[in-house]
Amino acid sequence: MSTTTPGRTSTTTMRPAPARTGAGPVPVLAVLLALLLLALAVVLVRDALVALGTLGGSPWLPAAVEALVGVTPSAVVVVVGVVVALVGLWLLLQGFHRRTRTEVSVRSQTGVFTGTGDVARLASGAARGVDGVLSASSSAGRSSVTVKVTATGDVQAEVQEAVSRRLSVLDPTPRVRVRATSDGSSS
């Protein structure tokens, strides 16, 4: 990229954009924790309204604290404590868990990426272009593509070659698997 401003000219090279990543498990956990905090807020507001005399009844929090005061150390308390600690550790690890990568890099200098659904569509289109293929469908991941074709003859090698050629622009080139079934009708 070259930029020109009055009196100055500079040339800088921009790095390609990084691949987009999925959100991973963190948003689901965040929603669950937000719901728990919302439930706690409802209880606190209810108890505040009861204390102000706006609502009738007795507050819930003092009753819950009194129930916990009588708890003595026992095997059940230890088990509950261990389970809560393990859940907390699991939540912490989920926060640092690697996010999912759903896109595949295209060989270029500009940082172009395509989704796995688009890779599957490219593979299906390439397979449909082979003579003798009646229908084609495919599924793709970041490292492999599976193409299912219905054909009038033995076209597995031709489909493999056509799909591999079409997907050769991806980096890395995905592994291509072809599952061919014969139509059985001769027309």
Contact 57, 50 (CB under 8 A): yes
Helices (H) and strands (E) in the chain, counts: 5, 8
**CA dist., res. 58 & res. 112, Å (int):** 62
DSSP H or E run through 35: helix 26-52
Q: How far apart are CA 90 and CA 93, in angstroms?
A: 5
Confirm whether 4 is domain-assigned: no
- CATH code at position 162: 3.30.70.1350
Look at residue 15 and tell me if it is in a domain.
no
Taking residues 163-181, what's their average pLDDT? 92
- Whole-prediction pTM: 0.55
The reported pLDDT for the residue numbered 109 is 73
* pLDDT attached to residue 71: 76
Q: What is the pLDDT of residues 105-131, one digit of tens each?
A: 888 777 788 888 999 999 999 999 999
pLDDT at 75: 85
Tokens standing for 83?
């389970």
Residue 58 and residue 82 in one domain = yes
pLDDT at 179 over 90: yes
Q: Would you state the pLDDT for residue 7?
A: 60
Q: What is the Cβ-side half-sphere exposure of residue 7, based on CA atoms within 13 angstroms?
A: 0
Amino acid (1-letter code) at residue 134: L
Asked if residue 187 is part of any domain, the answer here is no
Structural domain count, the chain = 2
Domain stops at, among 37, 69, 96: 96
Tokens standing for 45? 């507001």
Domain that holds residue 121: 103-182
Say if 6 falls within a structural domain. Answer: no
pLDDT at position 149 over 60: yes
Same domain, 62 and 38: yes
User: What DSSP designation does 76 have?
Assistant: H
Token pair, residue 114, equals 């395509």
Q: What are the structure tokens assigned to 135, written together?
A: 């229908």
Q: Which of 35, 64, 96 is the last residue of a domain?
A: 96
pLDDT in tens, 80-111: 888 989 988 887 887 777 777 778 888 877 77
For residue 10, being part of any structural domain is answered with no
- Name the band, by pLDDT with cuts 50, 70 and 90, for residue 186: very low
The beta-strand segments (E) located in the chain are 2-5, 8-11, 103-106, 112-115, 133-140, 144-151, 170-171, 175-182
Answer yes or no: are the C-beta atoms of 129 and 162 closer than 8 Å. yes
Q: Which of 75, 96, 117 delimits the end of a domain?
A: 96
